[in-house]
Amino acid sequence: MHIDPKTLLLRPEFIDRHRALRVLCLGMMGLLTLMAVFVVLVVRYALGGKPLSGNAAMLGGIPILTVIAAMVTLAAPILATLISSFMLKSGIESVALEPPHVPESGADLETDADRLWRVYSSGKFVQYALSEGAILVCAVLYHLSADPLMMLFVLGMLLYMASRFPTSARILAWFEEAVPKVAELRESRIT
């Protein structure tokens, strides 16, 4: 296996894949931002800033819905990191130790670079999906409680997503770590 991570993103098929991944990630962040703004506008103008459910249930002087939102926004990045790390590790092992799937008639056999790209993008989507779920929970809870702190949680999750955005440098760094791991796993299997 020879993959040069420095030239990988210069190949036309990977330029297109990188562009598509960036567009999907930016689109998700943009749509979630618009949804949060829309929810704020509904609560502020349609509901007059009044919570739907009230804030009667308190935990240590803090509305229980705010506590739930805080727990969700703290748990989402932790879970995203743990799950994506596990997926990336097992994906690298799969690329190293299992042969590629037999393609349909007339299709090309996947290269190691193709398979590693799928591993990387799958891990990225797990991070974004869990973040999206946390944002949606916070938006719903904001709709119920009208607690502006919820929007800070949403902003925090959007910042987390931005910190995980698939830039060329991040992809290059990931491939520079993954390629030697694949080679090392293959070597250890032979010996």
DSSP-assigned letters across all residues of 114-150: HHHHHHHHHHHHHHHHHHHHHHHHHHHHHHHH--THH
For residue 126, how far is the Cα from the chain centroid? 5
- Identify whether the C-beta of residue 136 lies closer than 8 Å to the C-beta of residue 112: no
Q: Please state the domain extents for the chain.
A: 5-100+109-190
End-to-end CA distance of the chain: 17
From first to last of its 191 residues, the chain has per-residue pLDDT tens of 567 777 888 889 899 999 999 999 999 999 999 999 999 998 888 878 777 766 566 677 777 888 899 999 999 999 999 999 999 999 999 998 887 776 666 666 678 889 999 999 999 999 999 999 999 999 999 888 888 899 999 999 999 999 999 999 999 999 999 999 998 998 888 76
Q: φ, ψ for residue 55 (rounded to 5)?
A: -120, 45
**Given this model, what pLDDT does residue 105 score?**
67
pLDDT of residue 135: 95
**Distance separating alpha carbons of residues 2 and 111, to the nearest angstrom:** 10
Contact between residue 174 and residue 92 where contact means Cβ atoms under 8 Å apart: no
Residue 56, both tokens = 């009667």
What global pTM score does this model have? Answer: 0.85
